[in-house]
A = this chain, B = another copy of it.
Amino acid sequence: MTAFAFDVEATDGRARAGRLRTAHGEIETPVFMPVGTAGTVKAMLPASVKATGASIILGNTYHLMLRPGAERVAALGGLHRFMNWPGPILTDSGGFQVMSLAGLRKLDEEGVTFASHIDGQRVKLTPESSTEIQDLLDATITMAFDECTEYPAPHEKAAESMRLSMRWAERSRNAFRNREGYGQFGIVQGSTFEDLRRESAEALTGIGFEGYAIGGLAVGEGQDEMFRTLDFTAPMLPEAHPRYLMGVGKPDDLVGSVQRGVDMFDCVAPTRSGRNGQAFTRRGTVNIRNARHKDDPRPLDDECGCPACTDYSRAYLHHLVKAKEILASMLLSWHNLHYYQSLMRGMRTAIRSGGLDNFAAAFRAEQAAGDIPPI
């Protein structure tokens, strides 16, 4: 068995290029984790996810506990086997989805009681049960159960919420059954307040986790405020452990956050946008539903190596989206994940050669140039 180990192999400013070793495989960081909400990265076969360059995916505890159920997944050999993804899987704690999806929530010191969005069933999630569920799912990386502080929150409310999350972090750690090659991450809260983020980071490092996540961002504060918060939060986290910015983000969020010292990301944007006809490209976002693509024989991006770009015209992709064909979701999800992974690979390479700032400047210039002109 491989020990769960993280090595920072190169730095460039605050950015780090590293390697995370786990029971289910190695991950080069900075890394983007595609989201496999309900045991599938939507509209993708696992082999295709792998082909985009993904080395780790995320699973949602909230969705999986409600359907098909964590005990069922465990009985079927765990999430890796269930969904045919033998590589590393990080599961969130369920806390965020309870807040965004479930009905009739009641939060107390013990945990959160809520009504399932599927059948209204009353369910309770606590630091202990969340941790146990992630264990049943066989998560390579388990997340501590926390409350994602809403934005904006006054200092007092953010402090109270963060301190509850810190008590829950300790209970999550106590409930965690460590195994060789597995790890658990604590989650820093404290909204956009530097003193609260510091208090939270110190509480978590006092407990001791294999990695540290930054939660409570990408919740409406905007990119400037997110970067400002990252500027003071990232340096509070131990250098020898991976730093994971939860739920982020768009391509330029990823670049700016890597420059600020973040190692790991997850976001539904590439797959969700793909299902909505939106493509992320070197030259910014392309809405393939737009009539300008109707007769365009050119690929989405002539430098991209994904099937959507190598095998099809914009006109065809436009047609698929208009005709509501499943293949539209398949191809655009694939393209977007491929683009995200290429971007991360580019940053990893740039960090190792000390050229991240140049890479970022070129990235921003190309994004700003915008899409190729219509034919």
Contact = CB atoms under 8 A, between A and B. Distances in A.
Interface string A2-14: 0000000000000
A76 B327 contact: no
B326 A295 contact: no
A57 to B, nearest CB: 13
Contact of A45 (B38, B42, B82, B330): B330
A51 to B, nearest CB: 12
Contacts of A320: 39-40
Interface residues of A, number: 36
A84 interface: yes
Contacts of A1: none
A75 B294 CA distance: 11
A341 interface: no
Contacts of A294: 68, 72
Interface string A49-84: 000000000000000000110001001110000111
Interface string A315-354: 1101110110111011000000000000000000000000
B297 A327 contact: no
A42 B82 contact: no
Contacts of A72: 294-295, 315
Contacts of A311: 46, 84
A151 interface: no
Given A72-B294, A294-B72, A42 B326 contact: yes
A44 interface: yes
Contacts of A38: 319, 323, 325
A201 to B, nearest CB: 37
Interface string A297-327: 1000000000100011101101110110111
A43 interface: yes
Contact of A76 (B40, B43, B297, B322): B297
Contact of A327 (B43, B75, B315, B323): B43
A54 to B, nearest CB: 16
A138 to B, nearest CB: 15
A313 B45 contact: no
A329 to B, nearest CB: 6
B323 A67 contact: yes
A295 to B, nearest CB: 6
A315 B83 CA distance: 10
Nearest to A64: B319
Interface in A80-108: 82-84
Contact of A42 (B44, B46, B77, B327): B327
A83 B325 CA distance: 12
B327 A82 contact: no
A330 B67 contact: no
Residue among A46, A313, A318, A327 with the most chain B CB within 10 A?
Answer: A327
Given A72-B315, A316-B39, A44 B297 contact: no
Nearest to A313: B76
B82 A43 contact: no
A326 B319 contact: no
A76 B44 contact: no
Which of A38, A40, A43 has the most C-beta atoms of chain B within 10 angstroms of its own C-beta? A40
